[in-house]
C-alpha cells in the first residue's frame, strides 16, 4: 500500500498495474505447456491486475480523523 495518493496518481497506478498484468496473462497463456487460450490468459491477467491495483491504493484500515480541539 502506498498510502493516500492524489487521484491522478491512483488512477495512473491502477492503469499501469492492469496493463502490466494483462500483458503477463497473455504471455503466460501463450507460453505455458497447458493449452490456455490467449483471451483466457488476458482475462485472468486483467483480474489479477485489478486485485493488485485495489490492494495498492486501499488502506488496510480507514484513516483516522482527528477530533476537533476546543480551547
Residue 27 belongs to domain spanning? 7-57
Q: Write the pLDDT tens digit of every residue in 6-56.
A: 888 888 988 999 899 988 888 888 887 777 787 888 888 888 988 888 888
The reply to whether 67 falls in a domain is no
Alpha carbon distance, N-terminus to C-terminus of the chain: 36
| Residue with more model confidence, 65 or 28 | 28
The reply to whether 42 falls in a domain is yes
The reply to whether 18 falls in a domain is yes
The reply to whether 69 falls in a domain is no
Please count the structural domains in the chain: 1
- Of 53, 62, 55, the residue nearest 18 (C-alpha): 53
The reply to whether 25 falls in a domain is yes
pTM given for the model: 0.69
Amino acid at each position: 500500500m502506498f498510502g493516500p495518493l492524489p487521484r491522478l496518481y491512483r488512477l495512473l497506478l491502477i492503469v499501469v498495474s492492469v496493463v502490466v498484468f494483462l500483458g503477463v496473462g497473455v504471455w503466460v497463456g501463450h507460453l505455458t505447456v497447458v493449452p490456455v487460450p490467449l483471451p483466457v490468459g488476458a482475462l485472468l491477467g486483467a483480474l489479477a491486475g485489478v486485485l493488485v491495483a485495489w490492494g495498492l491504493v486501499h488502506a488496510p484500515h480507514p484513516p483516522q480523523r482527528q477530533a476537533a480541539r476546543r480551547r
